[in-house]
Chain A
């Protein structure tokens, strides 16, 4: 069965510190991989996506993610967080030939001054 796991429910990080959010997936084949951010009262905004090729992908707002096939992981990173990065982050997958997005449960990020 397909599944997406985000092991960390909540992460607190100091402003200016680095951030890494974990995502693991269980899938029959290598899926398309996505990271979305949801700020309070907002919809989901796509941060970045991986389809194929270079396993390190760059996204918006200074985020990057690395696909590791051997670990079935797609972890999201940011070198230096800003207070505006406080939000909920969702990892999602879908089969290349399908439209259905399967989401993880999300990780809430709190940024302290």
Chain B
């Protein structure tokens, strides 16, 4: 079974530029998550999708971050314009369904490391 795919793996941009990250979840997984992992911290959830709808975007800085999952499969996370403090690893994860339960495991992709200069 193929895992969660993300691209690009690394990105370096200057502040005020725009950047986009792509995620392809595990086939059949209805739920997709984007996390931000700043150096020295654990991952923090930015947004959760259930199919193509947003379940939770309470931690997403909506003035500069946006995300979409138009067909309920792939997802794109965009930052426009980027700030220095956006330097982080952006992780995508997927699970078979939303909600709790012991069997609802999240599977993580390798992440995109963003450096903002």
Interface residues of A (CB under 8 A from B): 4, 9, 32, 36, 41-46, 49, 51, 90, 92, 94-106
Contacts and interface: CB of A to CB of B under 8 A. Distances in A.
Contacts, number: 60
Contact of B4 (A4, A43, A46): A43
24 contacts: A4-B42, A36-B108, A41-B9, A43-B4, A43-B109, A44-B43, A44-B108, A49-B105, A94-B100, A96-B100, A97-B101, A98-B99, A98-B100, A99-B95, A99-B99, A99-B104, A100-B45, A101-B43, A101-B45, A103-B44, A104-B42, A105-B40, A105-B42, A106-B41
Interface residues of B, number: 27
A67 to B, nearest CB: 14
Interface of B: 3-4, 9, 31, 40-45, 48, 56, 91, 93, 95, 98-102, 104-106, 108-111
Nearest to B58: A100
Given A44-B93, A97-B99, 6 more contacts: A42-B110, A44-B91, A90-B42, A97-B101, A100-B45, A106-B42
A101 B109 contact: no
Contacts of B99: 97-99
